[in-house]
A and B are shown apart, each in its own frame.
Chain A
Amino acid sequence: MFSFELLLDAVVIGVLLGCFYAAVSLGLSISFGLLDVPHVAHPAFLVLASYAVYFLNEHYGVDPLLAGLLITPLFFLFGLFAYRLYYETFERRGSDAGVRGIAFFFGIAFIIEVLIIMQFGVDQRSVTADYVGKAWRIGEMRIPFRLVVAFVVAAALTILLTLYLSRTFMGRAIRAVAQDQEALRLMGANPIRIKQWAFGIATAVLGIAGALLIIVAPVEPTLDRTYIGRTFCVVVMAGLGSMSGTLVAAIILGVAETVVLTLFGASWAPAISFAMLLGVLAVRPQGLFGRRS
């Protein structure tokens, strides 16, 4: 039953999977981690992106990664619009934004789910590309090529976003707005515009992340429910808003999932991210890797 090789296999796959989880969580790390938006619809946006990629791939034969890149500007605009709507209806009114803001995103997630079902049905969908379905062999170990693609793209995405947030003017403004909105206002910048921009970026990243999601495994309309657990687990564990923390937390989750899968079987897999999330929330709500002060 149990063998060391199997476990090693699980850890390697887990690390690759973890990088992929980081890629799908980065956007949430900005929108929820930095901007404090209760973005429960983040995973639904992600699945929506996957279906857009599927559509382009199925009907026009566009490579999934390219398709992901193509929809990125659209998602950016979508993000700008979504934040504006959220800001105008909740943040600006102030009182009791909590309850209704959460319900708002929950409702949006549901609408997206149903629209996908009505358009594409409940069946699983996948994409075709050269790198889907092949595998590398290293000795006894078999590493699916699609995971390697996801790993490379995810790593690149994380590095790019980290650089963006630390090196560019706008990136630094985004981090500043998360820490002290008033100070930024005093400096003559418009914090709302910056937050809107940041939310746009967070949503744009989902274009690529959605492509990765459907490259790694087939998608179905209700897949977002599982990813509520994964993405929030990663972001909360990372300590809100930390990009490098997001990568580390995602790898921990990836390894935990594959190891449990290997040891106990697939039927327990859905609960792992949620159990870790619950554990982190109950014991250390500020995250494992500190928090922005």
Chain B
Amino acid sequence: MKRNGMYFWGGAALFLAGALLMTQVIGNQYPFFACYVILQFIVLAVAWSILGGYAGYVNFGTSAFFGVGVYTAVFLFKATGVPLAVQIAAAAAVGALMGFALGLLTLRMQGIFFSIATIAATIIIETAITNWRYVGGASGIQLQRPAVMAPFDNYVEMLFFVQAVMVVLAVAISRYIQNSWIGRGLQALKDDELAAECTGVPTLRLKLTACVISGALMCAAGAPAAMYLQYADPASAFNLNYSVSALAMSLIGGTAHWAGPVIGAILLGVTQQLLTVTISSEVNVLVLGVMLVLFVVAAPEGIVGLIRKVRSKRNEGEG
């Protein structure tokens, strides 16, 4: 257990050091543009999995949290011009509050009712933002990036590194939850909510906790997107594609282990980047949909499940 932790934090430190080194060595902008998107999807998938994977509540509202994160940053930037770190922290706080409110409203519903309710919340919030003139309304808003901070010599590189830090944070939180009593409680209520209650699990409180953490991470992941694109509009900030991507990446990677969403997001994110460049963005959404359906039908436990199966087969072969 302890040794596992050392490996994990060592790996995380190595990952961040690598990311930082990349920003200092590579001059070309494109890798950062592409990698930023992949990192962003890792955060979203990991965050989705905390509620959707561990607790089994299929959240279609990833785009709602993402969009609110974007617009929290837009509003703060326009109103006060505070630095990026404050925008992200504020977005996380707003996301936590929103997760709490939405959770209270929807987490008593089960299965499909919860999922539909989260879509409903997404559209309602999007409509509200569309009607909010101060942040640009339906036509969107242009944003001028402020000067970049050292040691970065370019804003996109900085955004890339910031998102890398968020990946480590999200994965660390997800890993902690999985290995703690919270994770065991969520797993129990995913299996059987009534049996979990009757075994002492405070199901509503645990679901709310998961929803708050998941929401905070999703909002935080969205906050830098405005500066990344230098533009924000409701239709793209609340695009349902974020919801289906986060869900697909988690389920394809597998939700039984924290590494599942990470694997899924890297696999799909890289594929999408390649496809968008070489063929078209329609094809990459198609691939996402087809992979989701294929995995859900043929490999219900995702890639993590496949790996486990192969391992146990091998162990049986040896024993």
Q: What is the interface of chain A, defined by CB distance below 8 A to chain B? A: 32, 38, 40, 85, 89, 93, 96, 98-100, 102-104, 106-108, 110-111, 113-115, 117-118, 225-226, 228-229, 232, 236, 267-268, 270-271, 274-275, 277-278, 281-282, 285
Contacts and interface: CB of A to CB of B under 8 A. Distances in A.
Given A103-B58, A104-B293, A274 B123 contact: yes
Given A40-B115, A89-B297, A98-B56, A107 B248 contact: yes
B111 A38 contact: yes
Contacts of B136: none
Contacts of A108: 289, 293
Interface of B: 52, 56, 58, 60, 105-106, 109, 111-113, 115-117, 119-121, 123-124, 126-128, 130-131, 138, 240, 244, 247-248, 251, 282-283, 285-286, 288-290, 292-293, 296-297, 300
A107 B289 contact: yes
Chain A contact residues, majority secondary structure: helix
A113 B241 CA distance: 11
A106 B60 contact: yes
B115 A102 contact: yes
Contact of A110 (B120, B126, B251, B288): B288
A268 B289 contact: no
A102 B112 contact: yes
A274 B121 CA distance: 7
A236 B111 CA distance: 14
A240 to B, nearest CB: 10
A275 B124 contact: yes
Contact of B296 (A107, A236, A268, A270): A107
Given A106-B247, A271-B123, A111 B56 contact: no
Contacts of A38: 111-112, 115
Cβ-closest 5 pairs across A and B: A271-B127, A107-B292, A110-B289, A274-B120, A38-B112
A282 B102 CA distance: 11
Contact of B121 (A40, A93, A278): A278
A111 B290 contact: yes
Nearest to B284: A114
Contact of A277 (B111, B120, B247, B288): B120
Contacts of B282: 114, 117-118
A96 B124 contact: no
14 contacts: A89-B297, A96-B300, A100-B251, A106-B244, A107-B248, A111-B286, A111-B293, A228-B119, A229-B120, A229-B123, A267-B130, A278-B120, A281-B116, A282-B106
A102 B58 contact: yes
Given A38-B115, A99-B52, A236-B113, 15 more contacts: A98-B56, A99-B251, A102-B58, A103-B296, A113-B285, A115-B286, A225-B240, A267-B130, A271-B123, A271-B127, A271-B128, A274-B119, A275-B120, A275-B124, A277-B120
Most buried by A among B111, B113, B296: B296
Contacts of B115: 38, 40, 102
A276 B247 CA distance: 25
B113 A103 contact: no
Contacts of B247: 103, 106
Contacts of B288: 110
